[in-house]
Structure 1
Amino acid sequence: MTHHPDSSLGELLTALKARNYRFVTPTPATHARIVARPDRREARSLADVLGWSLPFAPDLLDADIRRLLDAAGALEEAEGGLLRSCYRVSSLHDQLYIHSAFPTDAEDSVFFGPDSYRFADAIVAELEGCPRRHGAQIVDIGTGAGVGAIVTATRCPDASVVMTDVNPRALRLARINARAAGVEAQPLLGADLTGVEGEIDVALANPPYIIDEAGRTYRDGGGMHGGEVSLDMARMALPRLAPGGRFLLYTGSAIVRGEDELHQALIALAGDHGMSLRYREIDPDVFGEELETEAYADVDRIALVTAVVTRPD
């Protein structure tokens, strides 16, 4: 029987869970350093294949895993008669997530990394109090691999969950990840919230926040030294919040001569809508290598921040 590629990828996640597969995805810079080591030229384990994206000998994997990868069309030829997976699989909390293989050079790459873990932890901390409104709706804006939607749905099972993205490939993998996690979430292709019906109780966003010279959607945060996409997501989410609703933003913000432009813009935006803002730095200095580029010539540092905007009841 021929399986649909999506079904095969879903079965792959199930099979990997049964094998207690684990892989924590590092930053792209760390990943590149590791796979450049002489002893990492060829895969020796399942994590080397599906985590480190190393080429592997055809007989390395067990028959079931190899069959599922073949059925999903997830293998490509590498040099020396070796094979390479087109996907990575990472573990976060109790779930597995399939996403793009390293390196993520393509414009439609589906990214997963350290920000995914921090975003998930921020959601868990914020959703100790799930929305109580009957028919509550949670929207993960720019869902990527589906982390926000899945983490939220497992903690607030009575809410309906929508995951949006401009990248069809991201929505495809998010849907596969959600099904494998036993989560019902509605995928919605689009750059705004016009396709979301009704009020939103919790809107989530983990947007790109770095200026990307290649303009890759998953990485480029636009103007404001990478803060523009974050602010745009806030602008679209706040008018849609239900009474007592919240917008949770995890992102990065460039600090220029001691000033946080994104923070100031969010203060003004929240005030315009009569809403309250909680904002804090959770890491004062990330992606320091970006400061060597022309686009960041006037930037002191890039901080990781969380912002929660709440509409009054």
Structure 2
Amino acid sequence: MRVSRPDQPAVRSADAELRHLLALLRDRDHRFVTPTPATHARVLARADRQAARCVEDMLGWSLPYRPGDCDAAIEALLDRAGVTVPAGDRRRATIRVSRLHDHLFVHSAYPTDAADAVFFGPDSYRFADLIRDELRDCPARAGAQMVDIGTGSGVGGIVAATACPGLRIHMTDVNPAALRFARINAAAAGIAADFHESDSLATIPGPIDVATANPPYVIDSGKRLYRHGGAMHGGQVSLDMAVMAMDRLAPAGRLILYTGSAIVRGHDQLAAALAEAAAARGCTMRYREIDPDVFGEELENALYRDVDRIALVAAVVTRAG
């Protein structure tokens, strides 16, 4: 189902307020960088991090604020956009705003416990750098198009559009909240894009020159959309998205996949499955580990009892020209 349909007036007004918020924060050189949830929790455990004293505390660290204590203009924008909730005698924003490269991104506040939370964090920065490095050579085909599969806050599409301004950009997600934020972030960045609420590429016409994906890659008991990677110790969603993209690549088209892989007794099962899928479709693959060991705490889960480590990996799959 396409999500390019007109919004209801109330939603359109709220979206406009959030675009205004991003413009105001850009003018004020907002530079919050989102850490891991574990780091965020450690910072908030400090005695001097219990209430907001500035905009970064409000819209970065997700701290509660008393109206009038931080920035009246930004507080008013948040209220008009409907993105604040009571927090005792204070208010709390339900969004955060983070800087990545030269763009600002609105995404869900900490903690991201809701099933439809829109996550943003260190993976977003590494994913963006991978895309920028891989797209130093832009597609040459006239009318070239790219799709960011499972776009979340829109990082893949926005970074690709910035690297290759001639691309027609598509962003897909099964989460309406993610598509809303991606649409706001793209508009704030001056990026034109088509948005698709879908778990497939069926609504995107024609071949795809660049596909990007940053899928969830761990086993999440709550099955949150941004986090749960399914079977194969969390690698199944990554494989499914990759195969879906490979089947639609144009000649010389590329898939840029950033994800994690559970290494089981020295064996990278995701790498093997991706290589087999690529070869069956006449594609070549470059594959490397970006970080050999992340989310070590997940190994305490009984479902990971045979896993050595979780590695961050990059796979670039190219169809023959």
TM-score if structure 2 supplies the norm length? 0.96
Is residue 284 of structure 1 aligned with residue 292 of structure 2? yes
| d(CA) in 1 for partners of 2:320, 2:282 | 8
Is residue 298 of structure 1 aligned with residue 313 of structure 2? no
- On the 8 A contact 2:66/2:91 being kept in 1, the answer is yes
1:1-313 alignment, distance < 5 Å: 4-79=13-88, 81-313=89-321
RMSD: 1.2
5+ residue gaps, structure 2, are: 1-10
Q: Aligned-pair distance for 1:3?
A: 7.3
The superposition leaves residues 13-38 of structure 1 with CA deviations (integer Å, 9 ceiling, x where unpaired) of 00000000110101111111111111
- On the 8 A contact 1:3/1:71 being kept in 2, the answer is no
> Helix, strand or coil: the match of 2:247?
helix
| d(CA) in 2 for partners of 1:252, 1:60 | 41
| d(CA) in 1 for partners of 2:195, 2:80 | 24
| d(CA) in 2 for partners of 1:189, 1:276 | 30
1:224 is aligned with what amino acid?
M
Q: Aligned-pair distance for 1:45?
A: 1.1
The superposition leaves residues 90-146 of structure 1 with CA deviations (integer Å, 9 ceiling, x where unpaired) of 010011000000100000000000000000000011000011100000000000000
5+ residue gaps, structure 1, are: none
The superposition leaves residues 210-255 of structure 1 with CA deviations (integer Å, 9 ceiling, x where unpaired) of 1001111110000000000000001111110000000110000000
Identity %: 62
Q: Aligned-pair distance for 1:62?
A: 2.3
Following TM superposition, the consecutive aligned residue runs of length 4 or more in structure 1 with deviations greater than 4 angstroms are none
1:191 is aligned with what amino acid?
D
Does 289-298 or 252-261 show the bigger shift? 289-298
- On the 8 A contact 2:107/2:153 being kept in 1, the answer is yes
Q: Aligned-pair distance for 1:157?
A: 0.8
The superposition leaves residues 31-71 of structure 1 with CA deviations (integer Å, 9 ceiling, x where unpaired) of 11111111111011110000000001111232321221111
| d(CA) in 1 for partners of 2:286, 2:206 | 25
- On the 8 A contact 1:41/1:54 being kept in 2, the answer is yes
| d(CA) in 1 for partners of 2:250, 2:282 | 13
TM-score if structure 1 supplies the norm length? 0.98
2:133 is aligned with what amino acid?
A
> Helix, strand or coil: the match of 1:242?
strand
| d(CA) in 2 for partners of 1:45, 1:296 | 41
- For these two proteins, the number of residue pairs brought into alignment is 312
